[in-house]
Structure formats: structure tokens, C-alpha cells
Structure 1
Amino acid sequence: MPAYKAPLRDFDFVLNELIRVQDTIPALPGYEEATQDIFASYLEAAAQFCENEIAPLNRSGDEAGCDYDPATKSVTTPAGFKDAYRQFCELGFTGLDCDPAYGGQGMPKTLAFPIMEMQCSANVAWSMYPGLSHGAYAAIHAHGTAEQKDTYLPQLVDGSWTGTMCLTEPHCGTDLGLLKTRAEPNGDGSYSITGTKIFISAGEHDMSDNIIHLVLARLPDAPKDVKGISLFIVPKFHADGSRNPVSCGALEHKMGIKANATAVINLDNAKGYLIGEPNKGLACMFTMMNAARLGCGMQGLGLGEASFQGALAYAKERLQMRALTGAKCPDKPADPIIVHPDVRRMLLTQKAYTEAGRALTALLALQLDIEEKHPDAEARQDAADLVALLTPVAKAFMTDNGYTATNMGMQVFGGHGFIREWGMEQLVRDCRISQLYEGTNGIQAIDLLGRKVLLDQGAKLRKFSKLIHKFCEANAGNEQLAEFVGPLSKLLKEVGETTMGIGMAAMMNKDDAGAAATDFLRLIGHITYAWLWARMAEVAYSKLGQGDDAFYNAKITTARFYYAKLLPEVESLKAQIKTGSKPLMALDEDSFAF
């Protein structure tokens, strides 16, 4: 597989031409020094690290996996992983967007997100070690006491300690109300935690001096269901260096991300410390989960980009048959497969989904920065609402599209794509988990429709719709954009009607909302991408004649491809939504047997 190259030109387009970070970020309190030049220097340094240090470890890490020693209950990561992590820490990337009060650099998330994408493209299994740590940092920073912050954050920020989140149990995945892990008060402010957690990413490894587990558990007098869940900090080693009885019982044998240690974690009266209020642990954990969901979306994006790069290089070199319209390379025994329409279909699908996903993540990162730093409360709330609405879309739509993109990349390679040494099948395997963890994509769809749309009677969706409406209104007379604005405006109206129809149906039968949820999320994903592609086309048209016409014409052409070949999926989605739940619920359970 060709070496990964960070798409720095496209990052520059998205950040500086599409969302124009320089108009917003330096004006936010604390981000005054986050100039365009600073962005460029960080992105260049991250590109060099990802291309030269972790990308070369991707296949070897997949082949070797992590090694578990049952005698010592320890885990060894693949060769090179620990050294690469050390370099990552020395470069300061572990604390890039962390609070300077704890040793962080205080950079915006708008800078951190593209660097996260590069890591996912280069080596997604490796990227999860610092990624989970950042989630633990965020939860403790948001909900910990001053003492807890002073104890744990400096080491999480400098990377000498790493973190996890421990939610899932053998009998309990999405339905966390069923969890059984117990927390008994010790009388000194600490708790004894007992239980078993599974599927714990980066749960045990040799890359850091300590691992800080954030564990959901129940207090003795806790209410039932999710109302009785508390969150605890359970370190592998205490601050005084003594060992805590929290250990790795096994590593999972997995389809992909084999170089990340997905552990079974046993807690045997391990000492833990309550974070946040008793029985309010799920709200605290959602600080970490929401970040992880955006991280999952980034995995779909990053792996789609890596697959596109490999497929494109191969399609330009692989000679097979002649073009249907006549030989394009008569001096060669056959034409490169990029001349064939079906190969173009796959490459353009990868390109269209990846570049729109990059624009979406940049938009969300900017909203997160505004939500955190903007001096105006209304601006902060609008940003928070947009992030809340689009987080399940980013997680599910981007990972579904990422899996489509990696499959297409493998398909471009034909039979060679099925062979391990080419590297394309690994991208498919690594991407598949992104549709499952941090809440399956079906759960994301229910969250979007149920909590983010129907629960507030569509208030967040209306705010988002106004952004699209304003864009269409502002460009109503723009002849260059007519091919985008007309269909986008029509789709916006239809989305409103479809949403109202779902709401009306759900009042009569809640199963109708459940039946519509996945199709509805994809519908919202498509209108989001269509809006972003129209905006990218607008920028590209405005830049023509300024010296980079090939790049900007490619943007316009890809926007046309998205509208012509991918956006029409919305017609089938709307039709499926209208059928309601009856086709799904009509078959008796016993009749599923064969």
C-alpha cells in the first residue's frame, strides 16, 4: 500500500477558506495566539510524525497484535508503539488542547481535530491510546474536584499516565441501567470497587507509567436503572506508587484494531474515588462519551482517506483492459483502471464522503471552541445545540460512509485487495468497529431522532435548518450555484415535512419513530453534506483564477458528483420512512425460525 500523506492542502482549504478560523478563533479569549501561521506549523509537524513514525507501524502492529501474559496480567504493545508514543509526548501533542493550568498548550479543538484525523489515517489502533487518555482528561477536568485535578491532570496532559473509560459489562452494553459493578464506601472518602468490565480500549499496556480508569459503578443505596450510576476514578497505581487491585483478565480476539489492547478489566475491591455527585455518573461520563463519539466519526473519516489514497494510487498504475471509448494509453498493453467509469464511481464516492466529512468535523470543532470560549451566552448556546444535534450524525454517518469507502478501496484493488500485504483489507477490518462502539449507529439514530429532535419539538433542528435556509436565500440569484442551491432548498423543505410526519406518527405508535430512526439519521447526514458541498463549491468558484484552479475545479466537480450520484439516496430514505413500523413488526417472532 502507498505511504500515507497528510492532506495538508485540503486542511488549509477547510480551515482557512471554508470555515475561516482566522475570523473566529483568535478573537476567542485564550486563543489569541492561535493564528493561521501557528495552525500551519502544528499541522506540518503532526503530518511529519504521522507519516514517518506511526504509519510505518500500522501493518506490523496489525500482524503482531498485543501480547498478554496471564502470569503477570500485563500487556505488551507491538514493536515501535511505545517509542512512537514517547515521541508524541515529547512533541507536546498529548496536551495540545488541554488547560495550561495543568501543563497543556491551550490550543483550540479546531486545530486538534485535523491532527486526530491524521492519526486515524496513519494508524488508528495506535491513535486510540492517546485518544482515550484525552477523554479521561476531559471528564476529570469538567467534573473532578480541585484535588483530583491536581492529582491526575498534569500526568494525563504530559502523557506519562494514560486513561480509559470502563462502562460495558458482559451482560450490559448500551443499557447501562443493568450494570452490576459495586462501589462500597470505605469510610475515608474512598470506595471499594468490585466488578468486571469488558471491551476496554487501551485497558492495559506498557506505553505509560500508570493507567487511570474511569469506572461506572453502583453505590449500595443507589436507585435502579441509570438513575443509580456513579463515576469513579480507579488508578492502576495510586499516587504513592502502590498497586491497586485492578487488573487485565484477558485481551479480546478481534476482527480489527488488533494493535490496540481491548481488555477485560477485573476490579477486586479496587480503591476508587467518586467523581462528580453520587448517582450522577452517567452525566459525567457523557463528557467523555460525546468526545469519543466524535472520535469514532474521525476514525471513519481517517480510514476512508487512507483507503482513498491507496485506491487512487493503485488505479493510476494498474493496467487492465481498454477504455470503452478507445485506448487511452496505446503504448501500453492495457489502460490504467482509472479510465473505467465504475472505478471512477468508487474513487469519487470515497473522495466525496471524505472531503465532506472533513468539512463537518472542522465545523463541529469550531462550534466546540465557540461553546467553550465565546463571551456571548447566546452564541455559546447556539454552538452547543449544533454540536448536540450533529454529534450522532458525525458518529454514525461518517463511520457508515467510512466503511463504504474502505470497502470500495479494497474493491478497486480487486483480488489484491483481499490479500493482507496490500494493506487495504486491514482498513476495512479496522473501520468496522467504529460503527459499533460508543453506542452502535442504531443507537445514534435513536438519540438523534428521539432526544435531539422530537424531545425539544425540533428546536435544535430548526436552528440548523435556518443556517441552510440563509445560505440558500443568500445564493438564490447565483447562477453558478443554481445546480446546488435549488436541490438543497427543495430537500430542506422535504426534511421539515418528513420530520413532522415522523412526529405525528410517533404520537400514535412509538415504534414508528424507532423504525424511521436510521433512515432519518442518514437523511440528516445527506442534507448536512449537501449544504457543506454547496458551500465548498461557493468558495471554489470565488477562488478560480487565483493560481490553484485544478484544486478548485476538482472541488466543484466533486460537489456535482455528490449531488448527482450520492444525494439521490434521500428519495429512498424518505420512502422508507413513510412505511412506518408495520413491515418490521408484522412478522411473529416464531416465524423468524427456518
Structure 2
Amino acid sequence: MFSYVPPIDDYRFLLTEVLGFDRAMAEMGKEVDADLAAAVLEEAGRMCADRLHPLNRHGDEEGSRLVDGLVKTPEGFADAWRDFAAAGWASLSADPAYGGQGLPFILQLWLDEMLAATNLSFGLFPGLTRGACEAIMAHASDFLKATYLPPMVSGEWTGAMALTESGAGTDLALLKTKAAPDADGSYAITGQKIFISSGDHDFGGNIVHLVLARLPDAPAGVKGISLFLVPKYLPDADGGFTIRNSMSVGALEKKMGIHAQPTCVMNYDGATGWLVGEPHKGLAAMFTMMNAERLMVGIQGLGIAGASYQQAAGYAKERLQGRSADGARGPVTIIEHADVRRMLLNIRAFVEAGRALAGWTALQLDRAHHHPDAAERARADALVALLTPVVKAAFTDFGFESAVQAQQVFGGHGYIREWGMEQYVRDARIAQIYEGTNGVQAMDLVGRKLPMAGGAVVEGFFALVEMDLAAAEGLNIAAKTREALALLRGVTASLRGAGTEAAGAAAVDYLRLFALVSMGWMWTRMAAAAQGDAPLHGAKRAVADYFAQRMLPQAQGLAVGIAAGEATIMALGAEAF
């Protein structure tokens, strides 16, 4: 396996030449410039490459284990977590009021990319902790914030979210876990949750679970769900957290991938918890965490794709097989074969556009939180909401496809463990499923996000794209993206007011079309900026042309499929399957 190389040059190009980072920071009053941001990312990349990447294969092979009811993570993970937290990486973008560094979210999202690229199982620990912190910060009482946020932000404690039950996955209306009020204002939580990532570990410190449960007087369905903070350890008389709560790990899930990540069956046997937010409003509170996690999960797909590309490109430049196209030379390195280049370019065209779109989305999230103008904050927040299902679903779909293509470059060597490619494929697969399956994300985009503000949000997004395409007049990528945008506008209009079946039939294809246009937009911006003689600029222009000619044409087929409607999908009776 080749060493991981953090994409610092690409980050710097995006910060300084594409995304207008310094201008954006000045608008928000943040004293961070591109040089500082690149230095932070360079140090983060060094940590990921030197500390976490070497643990990845070993972690996959050893896996987390349940020993006498206690979770034991693979050798080296606990020490790596403590070093990660001590170096301040757990607090990178967190609120300074609770000990965070308050750095821009774009740095957090690109750190997440490098974490996923080097050790996806490890990266879930800080990602889930950060999401739990966001839900607590947005909805919990001042007492709970003051008690739990500082040690979680620092990485002394970690977080997990407990939603799923054996009978209640996507349909949380079926949730059965109960919460009974106690005299002291706390609640006794009783029930079982499954698929709980980071539910327990051996890092030391507390583990703070956010648990969905029903109060005794809860109405039926999702309107009767409340959110509770349930820590592994409760406070003692001296203020320390030493009393073991009535919760335990019943089993570790046996999974296709992310073996080092302890995915727990959690039993809550009258465990003590505290209400977060209002009674029966837990779903809204949990979605604060879920939306943050969905961006993180999308970046996991991006990270896996980038890591897979590095391995496959390195292998292709060394592996000797076959003869040159003219038959005059042989054996040649497989990078000379057109089909190998096609696979590598498919991956690279996604990774570099995805990295740019992730950065743009992260800057919008910063604007939503910190811009001085309220209208601009609202506009940016709406754009993030629109793009969240696109980032989550499209990035994880393209990420899995990229891992498979990179594995294919290796041929038979990609199927055996030695080179690590089969682990990328196995690890990437979960990202299409958890935090809301990609089909659910597509339905969210079509059913909830397109109608926002009467369609004004998506039309505003299209206007942003159109403005940059007009500014890049003359570039092939701009012309091809404009053609795809016209198709996207047309199917968007056709889906307004569509019924449930019609929306369901179109949703997945629509999201992919939306993603292709968004990536074409980013390639247009990158190609327009890359007009110099530097090798990086030349490579950007070449890959932009590849995306325009070989990947954007998928838009036509997707639009035709969407226009076919639901008739052929629903024609076959259920009994015939």
C-alpha cells in the first residue's frame, strides 16, 4: 500500500483561487486567512497520514471486540484518540464559549475528508461527538451545556446518537423506547437501540448518548418523540463522573466494513437521562445532529474516493502488463492503457469537484452562523439545507463507485487483502445507508427541499450557477454545464406538485442529475481560475474537459428516465415480485 498524501495543494488552490476564502472571512469578521488555513490543513494531513493511516488495516483486521461486557477497540486506537484530542483536533470548529477553537467549518469538513481517507472507523468518533455537541448546544438547558459541552468539545468525553431500534429504522414513528419521569427532574430510559456507532469504547472518559424515547403521555407517531441526554457515567457527590449508569452493550454488530468502529446494540435499563429541548419535540432536536452528520457522511464518500484514487494511480504507474497501443513496446505500465485512465479520471473528476463543492457548502454554513446580515444568514442556511441531501447521497454513491473502480485498476490484486482496496470497498458501502439511506435523501430533496420558499431557494441556486457559467463564456465545461442545467431546470419544473409515486420514481435520478450539474459548476469555476502555466492549472483544465465530455452527458439519460414517470415502475403488481 502506498503512503497517503494529503491534498494540500488542491486545498490551497481552492482557498486562494476558486472559493474566495479571504474575502469570505473578512465579510464574517474572522481573522483567518488562506495561509493560516492551509497551515492548519497541512498539519492535520500530517497527523492523518502519519498517525491514523498506519492503523487502518490493522484496525480492520483486529476489529473492536466485546470482552466481558466491555468494548475493546483495536490496539493503538485509544492512544491515537488521546493524542488526537490533546493536539486540539476534536475542538477545531467548536464554539470558543465551550473551549473550541472556532475555526471555519471548511477546515473541519476538509479534516473530515482526510480522516475518512486514512481511517474511516476512527473518524466516526470525532464526527459523532461533534454532532452530539451541536444538538446539545442548540437545544439543551444551560446547565446541561455547561456540564457536558466543555469535556466533549475537548475530546475528553465523546458522544453518540441512539435512534434506531429493531422495528424502527427510517420510520421513527414505530419507536418504543420509554422515558419515565423521576422526582428529581431526570428520566428513567428503558429500551434497546441497535446500530449505535461509537456507543462504547475504551478511550477513557464519559460517553454521552442522545437517545430518542417516548414520555408516558406522548402522542402516537413522530409527534410523540422526545430527546434525552444519557451519559455512561453519572455525577457523584463530589462532582466527579464515576457512577455507572444503567446502560450496557448487549452485542457488537458484525458488519461488512468499518470493523474497527464499535457499532453497538445498546440496552438502557432505567438509565438516568435528562430532557433535551421540549417534550415531544425530540425529532426536531435530533435533526440538528442528523443534518450535521449527513454532511460528514457525504465527506466520508469523498475521502474514500480520494484515498482509493491515490492507491490506484500509484499502482497503475508501477504495474507492468500488456503492450503499448501501437504494439511496439511491452510490457508497459498500465497507466498507458485507455481503460485504466478512464477509471482513474472518473474518480479524479468526482473527487476534485466534490472537494470544491464541499468547501463551497462549508463556507455557506459559516455564513449562516456568522454573517452580520440576517438576510444573508438566512439565504446561506437555505442553500446548505438544499445541498445537504445532495452532498450526503451523491458523494457516497460516487464514493462507493470510485472505490470499486479503483479496485478494478488493481485487477486480482484489488480483491485480496494485501493492497487494502477491498477494505475501501467494504468501508465505503455503509455511507450510502446510515444517517438516512440515499433513497431517503433523494426523497428529501424532491419532497422537502425543492418546495422551500415556494421554489425560490432552488431557483436562487440555479441563478448562482448560471452567473458563473456566464462569466466563463468560451470554456467547454461552461457550455456543457449550461446544457445540463437546462435539463435540470426542466425536470425541476415538471416535479413541482408531483404526487408521492411520481416523486419517488424520479427522486434518485433527479438527485444524481442535480449533483452532476453542481459538479459541472465547480469544474467551471476551477477551469476559469486555472488559466496559468502551472502543472496544477494544466491538470485542472484537462480534467474539466474530461468531466464535460465523458461524465456530464449522463444528464441526458437521467432526464429521459425522469420524464418517463412512474408508470413502468408501478406497473408490475407487488405479488409478481
Secondary structure of 1:183's partner?
strand
Q: What is the distance in 1 between the residues matched to 2:289 and 2:488?
A: 31
1:380 paired to 2:362 = no
Contact persistence 2:11–2:38 (CA under 8 A): no
How is 1:61-76 mapped onto 2 (pairs within 5 angstroms)? Answer: 61-69=59-67, 71=68, 73-76=69-72
| Coordinate RMSD, CA, aligned | 1.1
Q: What is the distance in 1 between the residues matched to 2:89 and 2:515?
A: 31
Q: What is the distance in 2 between the residues matched to 1:258 and 1:499?
A: 40
| 1:538 alignment partner in structure 2 | 528
Letter in 1 for 2:344: L
Q: What is the distance in 2 between the residues matched to 1:486 and 1:419?
A: 43
| 1:164-199 deviation digits (Å, cap 9, x = unpaired) | 000000001111111000011112210010010000
- The structural deviation recorded for 1:456 is 4.2
- The structural deviation recorded for 1:455 is 5.4
Letter in 2 for 1:431: A
- Name which of structure 1's ranges 302-311 and 34-43 shifts more when overlaid on structure 2: 34-43
1:406 paired to 2:399 = no
Secondary structure of 2:102's partner?
coil
1:487 paired to 2:480 = yes
Secondary structure of 2:215's partner?
coil
1:564 paired to 2:549 = yes
Q: What is the distance in 2 between the residues matched to 1:263 and 1:560?
A: 46
| 1:437 alignment partner in structure 2 | 434
Contact persistence 2:484–2:556 (CA under 8 A): no
| 1:23 alignment partner in structure 2 | 23
- The structural deviation recorded for 1:454 is 3.3
Q: What is the distance in 2 between the residues matched to 1:313 and 1:489?
A: 35
Change (3 A) 1:455 1:580: farther
Q: What is the distance in 2 between the residues matched to 1:83 and 1:173?
A: 34
How is 1:24-103 mapped onto 2 (pairs within 5 angstroms)? Answer: 24-29=24-29, 31-32=30-31, 34-69=32-67, 71=68, 73-103=69-99
Contact persistence 2:445–2:511 (CA under 8 A): yes
- The structural deviation recorded for 1:493 is 2.3
| 1:6-35 deviation digits (Å, cap 9, x = unpaired) | 111011111221102111114424x22x22
| 1:309 alignment partner in structure 2 | 310
1:243 paired to 2:251 = no
| 1:176 alignment partner in structure 2 | 172
- Name which of structure 1's ranges 457-466 and 383-392 shifts more when overlaid on structure 2: 457-466
- The structural deviation recorded for 1:277 is 0.7
- The structural deviation recorded for 1:502 is 2.0
Contact persistence 2:162–2:196 (CA under 8 A): yes
Give the TM-score, by structure 2 length.
Answer: 0.97
Q: What is the distance in 1 between the residues matched to 2:548 and 2:167?
A: 44
Contact persistence 2:487–2:555 (CA under 8 A): no
- The structural deviation recorded for 1:554 is 0.5
- The structural deviation recorded for 1:527 is 0.5
How is 1:406-425 mapped onto 2 (pairs within 5 angstroms)? Answer: 406-425=403-422
| 2:510 alignment partner in structure 1 | 520
Secondary structure of 1:212's partner?
strand
| 1:588 alignment partner in structure 2 | 573
| 2:537 alignment partner in structure 1 | 552
Contact persistence 1:193–1:272 (CA under 8 A): yes
- The structural deviation recorded for 1:91 is 0.6
State the aligned residue count.
572
Secondary structure of 1:234's partner?
strand
Q: What is the distance in 2 between the residues matched to 1:120 and 1:258?
A: 14
Letter in 1 for 2:142: A
Contact persistence 2:487–2:556 (CA under 8 A): no
Q: What is the distance in 2 between the residues matched to 1:379 and 1:387?
A: 12
| 1:258 alignment partner in structure 2 | 259
Letter in 1 for 2:528: E
Letter in 2 for 1:8: I
| 2:466 alignment partner in structure 1 | 469
Contact persistence 1:217–1:232 (CA under 8 A): yes
Secondary structure of 2:152's partner?
helix
| 1:578 alignment partner in structure 2 | 563
- The structural deviation recorded for 1:457 is 3.4
| 1:445-475 deviation digits (Å, cap 9, x = unpaired) | 0000000013543221101001012122333
Letter in 2 for 1:459: A
Letter in 2 for 1:204: D
How is 1:264-275 mapped onto 2 (pairs within 5 angstroms)? Answer: 264-275=265-276
1:7 paired to 2:3 = no
Contact persistence 1:136–1:164 (CA under 8 A): yes
Q: What is the distance in 2 between the residues matched to 1:137 and 1:21?
A: 26
Q: What is the distance in 1 between the residues matched to 2:139 and 2:502?
A: 37
Secondary structure of 1:184's partner?
strand
| 1:331-381 deviation digits (Å, cap 9, x = unpaired) | xx5000000010000000010011111001101110010000001011111
1:280 paired to 2:273 = no
1:452 paired to 2:449 = yes
- The structural deviation recorded for 1:103 is 1.1
Q: Percent identity?
A: 49
Secondary structure of 1:172's partner?
coil
1:529 paired to 2:529 = no
Letter in 1 for 2:16: N
How is 1:160-175 mapped onto 2 (pairs within 5 angstroms)? Answer: 160-175=156-171
Secondary structure of 2:248's partner?
strand
Letter in 2 for 1:272: G
Secondary structure of 1:196's partner?
strand
| 1:111 alignment partner in structure 2 | 107
- The structural deviation recorded for 1:487 is 2.3
Q: What is the distance in 2 between the residues matched to 1:15 and 1:36?
A: 6
Q: What is the distance in 1 between the residues matched to 2:480 and 2:411?
A: 35
Secondary structure of 1:221's partner?
coil
Letter in 1 for 2:570: M
Secondary structure of 1:192's partner?
strand
How is 1:193-212 mapped onto 2 (pairs within 5 angstroms)? Answer: 193-212=189-208
Letter in 1 for 2:521: W
Contact persistence 1:322–1:335 (CA under 8 A): yes
- The structural deviation recorded for 1:36 is 2.3
| 1:242-263 deviation digits (Å, cap 9, x = unpaired) | 1110111000000000000000
Letter in 2 for 1:179: L
- The structural deviation recorded for 1:80 is 0.6
| 1:225-246 deviation digits (Å, cap 9, x = unpaired) | 1111110000000132211101
Q: What is the distance in 2 between the residues matched to 1:101 and 1:460?
A: 32
Q: What is the distance in 1 between the residues matched to 2:495 and 2:205?
A: 51
Contact persistence 1:503–1:513 (CA under 8 A): no
| 1:123-178 deviation digits (Å, cap 9, x = unpaired) | 00011111111111111111111111110011101111100000000001111111
Q: What is the distance in 2 between the residues matched to 1:554 and 1:398?
A: 22
Secondary structure of 1:49's partner?
helix
Q: What is the distance in 2 between the residues matched to 1:126 and 1:489?
A: 40
Secondary structure of 2:530's partner?
helix
| 1:323 alignment partner in structure 2 | 324
- The structural deviation recorded for 1:323 is 1.8
- Name which of structure 1's ranges 494-503 and 347-356 shifts more when overlaid on structure 2: 494-503
Secondary structure of 2:323's partner?
coil
- The structural deviation recorded for 1:588 is 1.1
